[in-house]
Amino acid sequence: MLEFIDLGKKISKSDYAAVMDGLEARLGECQRAAQEAGVPVVLVFEGWDAAGKGEAINRLAQVLDPRGFRVNVVLTPNEEERYRPWMWRFWNELPPAGKFALFDHSWYSRVLRERLGDEVSESACREAYEEIRQFERQLADFGAVLVKFWLHIDRKEQKKRFRALEKDPATAWRVGESEWQQNQRYDVWRTAAEEMLEETSAGHSPWVIVEATQRKFVEVKVVETVVVAVEKAILRRASAPKPVYAPMPKPQESPTHEKTVLDRFDLGLTIDREDYERRLGELQERLFRLEHELYVARIPAVIVYEGWDAAGKGGNIKRLTRGLDPRGYEVIPVGPPNEEEKLRPYLWRFWRSLPKAGHIAIFDRSWYGRVLVERVEGYCTEEEWRRAYREITEFERQLADFGTVLVKFWLQIDPEEQLRRFQAREEIPQKKWKITTDDWRNREKWDQYRVSVVDMLQRTSTTHAPWTVLEANDKLYARIKALRTVAEALERAIAGRGTPTA
Amino acid sequence: MLEFIDLGKKISKSDYAAVMDGLEARLGECQRAAQEAGVPVVLVFEGWDAAGKGEAINRLAQVLDPRGFRVNVVLTPNEEERYRPWMWRFWNELPPAGKFALFDHSWYSRVLRERLGDEVSESACREAYEEIRQFERQLADFGAVLVKFWLHIDRKEQKKRFRALEKDPATAWRVGESEWQQNQRYDVWRTAAEEMLEETSAGHSPWVIVEATQRKFVEVKVVETVVVAVEKAILRRASAPKPVYAPMPKPQESPTHEKTVLDRFDLGLTIDREDYERRLGELQERLFRLEHELYVARIPAVIVYEGWDAAGKGGNIKRLTRGLDPRGYEVIPVGPPNEEEKLRPYLWRFWRSLPKAGHIAIFDRSWYGRVLVERVEGYCTEEEWRRAYREITEFERQLADFGTVLVKFWLQIDPEEQLRRFQAREEIPQKKWKITTDDWRNREKWDQYRVSVVDMLQRTSTTHAPWTVLEANDKLYARIKALRTVAEALERAIAGRGTPTA
């Protein structure tokens, strides 16, 4: 790819002056239009050391309204970051809709600097390409403009620049051992860069190679590219059909979906109180021990609770955490997305709340809201919830690849049991707050939820993140099964890691 | 995934009768509507042996108009097929727009039967998943409806069926060693099937798992799923915006693209006639020898010629083939797609003309027409030519992974040289047929072509399929460089294969 880059490209002083004014005006206009249309703009700057990334970013920054952009300088990951899946820190830095984010280095460090520094194996590098493609596709599907610049110079030019930088005491610090190493290993870097360009070019996230021998040329090409990309996106947005938000209709009747797999679970399963108390105590002790081992082995765990209204999620979570050291876990209740969250791709808030390695995050409701309540109520478009199955399995796969223990519970009760619990709640004064008109309304949509739940179980129960259905007509039974499932999953992970147990 | 499949699902005789009539009527309607809208429908049947794939296909076939569908039974690849990249035979079998293709087994055999039979390594299996995803995405982008059925039964049920089949002399032949082996290794197959479902599920090509314990249930679910999928696609097609076919405008003036990488090639390079004759003879002899070695080593080669009008493609190809044994190569001239080709995804006709391993295919113009003439003239939509860069690199990657030698030439001349040649052609009676008004018209679009050529070179020159630019103002020079490039590429491939040379 890089052999067809003409590094002799230059632009005259007069041409520069002639076009730059116009481009600056258009860029300003772009920023206002992107803000108004709610289009996030993500610009990635990669390239050779001393190729002029900083200068290109500065040039953009001079023109952009500073309230509307942020520059993210990507350095070696710090401890907080190393204890999370590696894409975590980039998810964290996503701009809200309407804003610009400029990345000085980026997620591509993983397949360049870290890979060539032997910190990332070949197979981890393949995995990284795949995760990058997933990330960028999710951004594009959300409507972001994504442009990636590769600033290209040849080996001689780089050497010349290093020398010049070294001569000036004010800039000598910019050239160290690692910079000279890149120059010495120019061909190795070049091969890796070409592979990267090939593996991660896509229509929705193109690489733009910038002939970076002359600074003026770089400035014009970068600003011009950004302007054209944003203008196009704004036009496309304006002519796109309006999204349709429609509640799910009652499922068509068909003998093929009269019964579902949910009907196969035996809701008559129970446990007697005495047995329950004994087992609960044992399990809580076991979990306390495991929580510590998990911490020592630096394994993160994510536990998801989903289920019918009044199925007993809260009480179940309470029993799970009661014996745990509160420094080691966090319960994350999930409601409708807030304003800030709505300005980002759907999974953003869940990425942000991922536990540090060694810690446990317990989600009371979760990202599955997208394919449950949002689907049923029409809070998202059909395209969005359909896409979500894939986005979710990709998300969980990335967590699993990082070594995360994933346990997902669906608390299953039947409609009769739900009715009994709703009525009981209304009758008992101290429980009355727990029941709202929403609950009664959801209940009327039982059939829609049933279809959504079955679709969810079938499409998102994967080998790395399986669902466990808890037969929850008997709350006690469901609690014991949940705690046992968590304990076993943690034990498997710890044994797999080969960490000595206490 | 499969743990949430309810294998107890059944349907009563009366329900069956009640719904099947309606479904049959709708399916007939679907077929007519798909024909009218030009939507191709691809249905894949995979699943356990004796799960009822044949019966399900038969049931559909009873309802469909036989002029509008074809059943493809996928067996072990034959010799013709083994000598081509493995997806070749499936590309060959793609239905034209408006028709149905039913696959009894499919490209998934590679990641199931062949993999479990140890004919496909783990890494080849990963590669196959990727190639399957590429194939199915290309089909979906073309507008095809793609539904994949997995007919699921449990181990016990399969055993029961095998026993029943064995008892009846008319069906005993259906159960052999390989069937019993699947039953004995049910868990291994199940794990592979689950991985396959996870790796290849996408919104545009969903897997539908069919609870296949009861035949009536299978029939209703299969017909119902097909009907719903086709009805949806027809509706979507009807409400989609009309595609825009617009010729490429003259490129905006900007100092960043005044000059291109094409200007860096030294068109003053020449070779004198005597030197030319001597080298040509040597190269032709060398190529003759290599053609034979290629055949022995069973390496396929694909050579692509693209270039400006009158740049000398024809004469160059003539010199390349003159010394070769005509049984070992084929020249494939590429013009506008014909009617049959327009009914398939763009790359279909190129897949069909791939050479057998050991043979050489020389394309006089090629799949690059999509991003050259079709882009410039607006014969395809912007979305289509943009998508093509990726489709083409994926295509060439699959060829390279199969071991194909890929050589791609761009014949570069300058506008002045082209003018001289056009004029000469008009003046010489026996060359006059070579020049048409089209050529003069194309010449006026030089700037548009220039941008398209540079985009093409930069986006599709990959490590596995690089472009070579031939400085072709001197035809003799271009010929020698072309023949030498081909010879060197063939030598590298043969040396890499470690085949003893003669």
- Report the topology of domain B255-497: Rossmann fold (3.40.50)
CB pairs under 8 A between A and B: 109
The pLDDT of residue B502 = 36
Task: Tell me the average pLDDT across B35-59.
Answer: 96
What is the DSSP track for B400-453?
A: HHTT-EEEEEEEE--HHHHHHHHHHHHHSGGGGGG--HHHHHHHHTHHHHHHHH
Burial class (CB in 10 A: 0-12, 13-18, 19+), B209: buried
Lowest mean pLDDT among A190-204, A244-258, B79-93: A244-258
**Tokens 């027809």 sit on residue:** B234
Count of helices and strands (H, E) across chain A: 20, 10
Percent of chain B with pLDDT over 90: 84
The pLDDT of residue A498 = 59
Q: How far apart are the first and last CA of chain A?
A: 55
Of A16, A194, A201, the CB nearest to B463: A194
Instruction: Compute how many other C-beta atoms are within 10 angstroms of the C-beta atom of residue B239.
Output: 8
Q: Mean pLDDT across chain B, nearest whole number? A: 93
Paired with B361 in beta bridges are B302, B330
Count of helices and strands (H, E) across chain B: 20, 10
Q: Scan residues 372-401 of B and list those with Cβ closer than 8 Å to A.
A: 386-387, 389-390, 393
Evaluate whether B2-155+189-237 and B255-497 have a shared fold.
yes
Task: Tell me the average pLDDT across B54-83.
Answer: 92
User: What would the pLDDT profile of A315-344 be if each residue is shown by its tens digit?
Assistant: 999 999 998 998 999 999 999 999 999 999
Q: Which residues of B touch A241 (CB under 8 A)?
A: 241
The pLDDT of residue B240 = 86
Q: Does B235 touch chain A (CB under 8 A)?
A: no
**H-assigned helices in A430-500:** 437-444, 446-460, 475-497
- Report the topology of domain B2-155+189-237: Rossmann fold (3.40.50)
B390·A202 Cβ contact <8 A: yes
Q: Mean pLDDT across chain A, nearest whole number? A: 93
Which top CATH class is A2-239?
alpha beta
**Higher per-residue confidence, B2 vs A306:** A306
What is the DSSP track for B91-151?
A: HHTPPPTT-EEEEES-GGGGGTHHHHTTSS-HHHHHHHHHHHHHHHHHHHHHT-EEEEEEE
Of B1, B264, B462, the CB nearest to A461: B1
Q: Which residues of B touch A192 (CB under 8 A)?
A: none
A459·B201 Cβ contact <8 A: yes
The pLDDT of residue B421 = 94
Q: Scan residues 134-173 of A and list those with Cβ closer than 8 Å to B.
A: none
Q: Which residues of B touch A385 (CB under 8 A)?
A: none
pTM of the model: 0.86
- Each domain of chain B, given as residue ranges in start order, spans 2-155+189-237, 255-497
Task: Tell me the average pLDDT across A224-253.
Answer: 92
User: What would the pLDDT profile of B424-441 be if each residue is shown by its tens digit?
Assistant: 988 888 877 878 888 888
User: What would the pLDDT profile of A26-76 be if each residue is shown by its tens digit?
Assistant: 999 999 999 999 999 999 999 999 999 999 999 999 899 988 999 999 998
Instruction: Using alpha carbons, select from B297, B313, B304 the residue that is nearest to residue B369.
Output: B304
Residues 6+ apart with CB under 8 A from B308: B411, B412, B413, B418, B449
Reduced to 3 states (helix: H, G, I; strand: E, B; else coil), residue B34 is helix
The pLDDT of residue A256 = 81
Reduced to 3 states (helix: H, G, I; strand: E, B; else coil), residue B228 is helix
A256·B224 Cβ contact <8 A: yes
User: What would the pLDDT profile of B237-261 be if each residue is shown by its tens digit?
Assistant: 988 888 999 999 998 888 887 788 8
What is d(CA B410, CA B401) in angstroms, rounded to the nearest whole number? 23
- Report the topology of domain A263-387+398-436+467-497: Rossmann fold (3.40.50)
The pLDDT of residue B458 = 93
Q: Which residues of B touch A16 (CB under 8 A)?
A: 255
The pLDDT of residue B431 = 78
* ipTM of predicted assembly, 2 dp: 0.77
Q: Scan residues 448-467 of B and list those with Cβ closer than 8 Å to A.
A: 454, 457-459, 461-463, 466-467
Q: Does A241 touch chain B (CB under 8 A)?
A: yes
The secondary structure of chain B in percent helix, strand, coil, rounded to multiples of 5, reads 60, 10, 30
